[in-house]
Structure 1
Amino acid sequence: MTPTVQKRLAISAALIVAAVFIGANAHLLTVALTSQPECREAAGTMPAKRAC
């Protein structure tokens, strides 16, 4: 394998890893915000339910 090919593979792998990391975090954020919408804070107030 030539150094150019190795460099392209390394950059491609790094981009794929970064994309998966960002996608996983976006998914976690989406699930956290939509799983219990009644438990979210509204303008600095307390949560709607004590169990939240």
Structure 2
Amino acid sequence: MQDQHNKSSDRVPIGQVVFDEVFLLFLASLVISFVLYNVWGLLELLNVPFLK
């Protein structure tokens, strides 16, 4: 019974796992910045008036 209690208390929270992985954080920052800047750029292009 004590062994089962130790296994359940030894689990690492998912937030800690994510923040411990430096390369995962780096990749996430690249993806977020890529998506945000591209969406921002597309919105800017769509707001440019057309020439007649």
TM-score tier by shorter-chain length is 0.5 to 0.7
Higher-helix-fraction structure: 2
Aligned length: 33
Question: What fraction of aligned residue pairs are identical, expressed as a percent?
Answer: 3
Larger Rg: 2
Q: TM-score, normalised by structure 2?
A: 0.57
Runs of 4+ in 1 over 2 A off after TM superposition: none
Say what the alpha-carbon RMSD is for the aligned residues: 1.2
Q: TM-score, normalised by structure 1?
A: 0.57
The higher-RCO structure (CA 8 Å, 6+ apart) is 1
Segments of 5+ residues of structure 2 without an aligned counterpart are: 1-17
Q: Matches of 1:12 and 1:33 in 2, distance apart?
A: 31
Code of the residue aligned with 2:31 in structure 1: it is: S
Q: Matches of 1:7 and 1:23 in 2, distance apart?
A: 24
Segments of 5+ residues of structure 1 without an aligned counterpart are: 38-52
Q: How does 1:29-40 map to 2 (within 5 A)?
A: 29=48, 32-33=49-50, 37=52
- Post-superposition offset of 1:17: 0.4
